[in-house]
Amino acid sequence: MSSQTLTTVMFLLVVALTVGITFWASRQGSGTTDYYSGGRSFSGFQNGMAISGDYMSAASFLGISGAIALYGYDGFLYSIGFLVAWLIALLLVAELLRNSGRYTMADQLAYRMRQRPVRTAAATSTVIVSIFYLLAQMVGAGSLVALLLGVSSESLKNLTIVGVGLLMIFYVTVGGMRGTTWVQIVKAVLLMAGTVLITILVLAKFGFNISDLLGAAADNTGKGEAFLQPGLKYGVSGTSKLDFVSLALALVLGTAGLPHILIRFYTVPTAKDARTSVLWAIGLIGAFYLMTLALGFGAAALLDTSEGSKVQASGGNLASPLLAQAVGGGEGSTGGALLLAIISAVAFATILAVVAGLTLTSASSVAHDLYANVIKKGTASEKDEVKVARISAFLIGGVAIALAIPAQKLNIAFLVALAFAVAASANLPSLVFNLFWRRFNTRGATWAIYGGLIASVGLVFFSPVVSGGPTSLFVNHDWSWFPLSNPGIVSIPAGFLLGILGTLTSKEPEAEAAHDELVVRALTGAGAEAATSH
Amino acid sequence: MSEKQPVHQTSQHPVYEELYHSDDFRELRKRYGAFAFPWTIAFLAWYLLYVLMSNWATGFMNTKIVGHINVALVFGLLQFVTTFAIAWLYARHARTHLDPLAAKLKARYDEEIAK
């Protein structure tokens, strides 16, 4: 069997497995709590796996190892921010949100504030963050499939994007949160197993001596010790250094504001289980990022990463799959073909699980926040709400497909970093103020959300990412005046400041009075939503 | 499980005010804050120190420790170690100092609601 056929078979196996899971999950219950939160019946460990599956995206698996393969040490900087960020989720967000919210990020804000404005604001930022993140995954899927099947045709890439889009709509409309969660759990198992396997094979090549592996990477890339030191990517100029600080802030503050991560805390019965799930997630994600070091430096040591090589041409995205082929025996060998097919299928499963989580999150927010509470003012029946959630999943999937096809020029890691920056600027300020600041009110919340949103997206629009630079979206025009490609260093403080300003320029005694109830509920679980029993 | 109230408005149930002003709740809030806030500031500062040094203290970061392993790599790995350690410390703190108080307060709530 040729390598391409093998890879195709593996992809189809992943699709069959996830479709089967979704059908099975769809028969487990059909109320709103089932659809949005999987009946809140997952254990802390299961949810920890699902969180890892939701979080470790194509940008993590293919992107970070690829960045290390190309830029050495600077690629590693991403994973540190991605991991440390989980402490904010653990210490300040997970348990309190589980106790005081219900289905969406907006629930906790709506507890104190005037529902309609804050739900509209939160739903807007939920959909925007999720769409940026979705685009990254779908663009990744398109180039991955095209490169692996050895066809670089535009129509195949577009076909893949449409296929991934249809699959994610299927998972979300049919399986709801329960189906999505199981897809993510299976993906986490596959991803960890695949990564452990390749890591062991790589380390074995160097007698499990890390220093030798690093030395080989430094030699093979021809960059010497500089490859193992910070600065190859971000140390070029003062601007690039500032850009790196800006990126680092977005990574560490963004995770706890990502809507698709936040709603995962509602799938467990109690706040203690939410804590357990974050602890598992930290362990799994941390272990995974440590292994990406071996994958990235292994790829640098064993593959050709020079100008014009396959790794370089894919922007690093193919480093892991090609490394799997190399340690399996190289091109043309059965072992190499098998490992390449396995790791490619794992990457594909990774993408599918993440896009399903994102689509579900957006659909839930549109149905629960906008339809049920803003438009219907709480009078919609459960059945109608779930129906609207399914229709929204279709619409959002359609929008994502339509946007992903022209967005294929955009860099995946950049799109993901932008989603983190928007989450940190628009969502984190109001989540934190809502819990810990009694004076906080509706105007503060809406100003923080819209302000953070406009600042982060607006600054990118006026950055060299969109116009004026050699790699810009619009090469022939230049309206850029903001020098950095990561907006976080300006937009995150802007989100917090606008939250403070909006709060201080208005008075809302109801919101202040409701703070006591919210805090009691958040810290003790008194009155928190219970799990449904089947 | 149908909703009578618009979802997620406050219940305005007097039990919440009663719990809020209880000694147990004050103590719970104090214990939670005494861990969460200083540690959040500490790990963010520790992370930023790492970021800033990667940018502007390259001489120190590039110092070789053993073989090809330099300070930058060890510093990065230390971020992993401290993340795991703080997560473990919080889990222990929550289990021994927060959970018992929270359970006690929740029992009081359930009792009041059942009346």
Q: Angle formed by the axes of helices B99-114 and A509-524, to 10°? A: 110
Contact A78, A209 (CB under 8 A): no
Is some CB atom of chain B closer than 8 A to the CB atom of A435?
A: no
Residues of B in contact with A111 (CB under 8 A): 8-10
pLDDT of residue A530: 83
Distance in Å, alpha carbon of B64 to nearest chain A alpha carbon: 10
A90 in reach of chain B (CB within 8 A): yes
d(CA B31, CA B104): 15
Q: What is the DSSP letter of A474?
A: B
Interchain CB contact of A287 with B (< 8 Å):
no
The answer to whether residue B63 neighbours chain A at the CB level (below 8 Å) is: no
Whole-number pLDDT of residue B12:
75
The CA distances from residue A413 to A416, B32, B90, in Å, are 5, 36, 31
* A422 touches A135 (CB < 8 A): no
**From the list A102, A241, A377, which residue is nearest B6 (CB)?**
A377
Per-residue exposure over A11-20, b if at least 16 CB sit within 10 Å of its own CB, e if not: beebbebbbe
**Inter-CA distances, A64 with A316, A392, A416, Å:** 8, 32, 12
Q: Is A107 on the interface with B (CB under 8 A)?
A: yes
Alpha-helix residue ranges (DSSP H) falling in B1-115: 14-20, 23-56, 58-61, 71-93, 99-114
Burial letters A493-520, b for 16+ CB under 10 A, else e = ebbbbbbbebbeeeebeebeebbbbbbb
Looking at the complex, does the CB of residue A13 fall below 8 Å from at least one CB of chain B?
no
**Taking a C-beta distance cutoff of 8 angstroms, is the pair A300, A220 a contact?**
yes
Joined tokens for residue A95: 């348990």
| Residue A238 to chain B, least CA–CA distance (Å) | 9
Given a cut of 50, whether residue B5 has pLDDT beyond it is no
DSSP element (H, E) containing B70: strand B69-70
* The pair of three-digit structure tokens given for residue A346, joined into one six-digit string: 């794992």
Q: A517 and B69: CB-CB below 8 Å?
A: no
A76 contact residues in B (CB cutoff 8 A): 73, 76
CB contact under 8 A, A516 and B7: no
Q: Does the beta-carbon distance from B1 to A33 stay under 8 Å?
A: yes
Cβ-based neighbour number of residue A50 at 10 Å: 30
**Smallest CA–CA separation between A490 and chain B, in Å?**
16
B115 at interface of A, judged by CB pairs closer than 8 A: no
* Encoded tokens for A6: 């093998």
Q: Which pLDDT value is given to residue B3? A: 40
Residues B6/A505, Cβ–Cβ less than 8 Å: no
CB contact B96 to A (< 8 Å): no
Distance from CA of A226 to the nearest CA of B (A): 9
Question: Can you name the residues that pair with B70 across neighbouring β-strands?
Answer: B64
Q: Which of A264, A512, A249 is nearest to B48 (CA)?
A: A249
Are the C-beta atoms of residues A413 and A63 closer than 8 Å to each other? yes
Please report, in angstroms and rounded to a whole number, the separation of the first and last CA atoms in chain A.
Answer: 47
pLDDT at B8 over 50: no
What is the pLDDT, as a whole number, of residue B40? 97
DSSP one-letter string for A310-322: HHHHTTTTTHHHH
Contact A73 B72 (CB under 8 A): yes
- B6 falls in which pLDDT band (50, 70, 90)? very low
The per-residue DSSP string of A179-245 comes to HHHHHHHHHHHHHHHHHHHHHHHHHHHTTT-HHHHHHHHHHHHT-GGGGGSTTTTT-SSHHHHHHHH
A60-112 pLDDT, tens digit per residue, is: 888 889 999 999 999 998 899 999 999 999 999 999 999 998 899 999 899 89
**CB distance B67–A211 less than 8 Å?**
yes
Report yes or no for ipTM above 0.85.
yes
B22 close to A (CB below 8 A): no
Whether residues B70 and A228 touch (CB distance < 8 A) is answered with: yes
CA A520 to chain centre: 31
From chain B, the residues in CB contact with A110 under 8 A are: 7-9
Burial of B12 per CB tally in 10 Å (0-12, 13-18, 19+): exposed
Q: Radius of gyration over alpha carbons of chain A, in Å? A: 22
Is-contact A494 A452, C-beta < 8 A? yes
Whole-number pLDDT of residue B4:
40
Q: Is A272 on the interface with B (CB under 8 A)?
A: yes
Give me the pLDDT at residue B1, please: 36
How far A150 CA sits from the closest chain B CA (Å)? Answer: 36
Per the structure block, which two tokens stand in for A274?
Answer: 């939410």
CA A428 to chain centre: 16
Residue A496, both tokens: 């917090």
Which segments of chain A have a pLDDT < 50?
534
**Nearest in space to A53 (alpha carbons), one of A127, A137, A129:** A137
Q: Which residue has the higher pLDDT, B11 or A107?
A: A107
- pTM flag (> 0.90): yes
Residue A309 confidence (pLDDT):
86
Q: Which helix (H) or strand (E) holds B9?
A: none
